[in-house]
Structure 1
Amino acid sequence: MRLLICAVLLAASCVPTLAASCTSRIAYVQRIIDKDVKTGFVDKKVHDDMGRDLAAATQACNAGNDAKAEQIISATQSRHGYPVR
């Protein structure tokens, strides 16, 4: 019984972490592109294009579709020359 309780608690503790992973990655990429546009590293059009993609990733993330959100983020980073982690 203790093992079952531990397994349930462990599983429950992982769910918020998974949900937070796409939101934290979106925020991370957004901070980078905001900084890059301020320093002139990227053009405002590139920043806006990436921002639209990140908005789509946010919608997917909020809908619980973390895999789609992660795919959108990775594709956006790759398309605009940012390293994908």
Structure 2
Amino acid sequence: MRTVPRRFVILLVPQHVVDRFGAAVEDSAVRSAVVEYTGEQGASGYPRYLGHGIVADVDPVTRTVEALLVDGSELDYGLTALVSDYVPS
């Protein structure tokens, strides 16, 4: 069985940001949150992470956000949820 990462950083980034002019994705995020593994599987079948008002099911292999709630609601149109390259220890 593969080890599930304990935490990720989820970034909410506007979809219209096409060219960041060399800036990091983190600089374009309108919100970010460190989310911790809950020990549960989400409805999507992927591990569930929770923190700072965000509940996310994340595929730990591809680091894709498969399901997401922000403050109890679905993500607003025009925003994309990404997993940051930075993963705190």
TM-score by length of 1: 0.31
Q: Which has the larger radius of gyration?
A: 1
When you count strand as a share of all residues, which structure comes out higher?
2
When you count helix as a share of all residues, which structure comes out higher?
1
TM-score by length of 2: 0.30
Which protein, 1 or 2, shows the higher relative CO under an 8 Å CA cutoff with sep ≥ 6?
Answer: 2
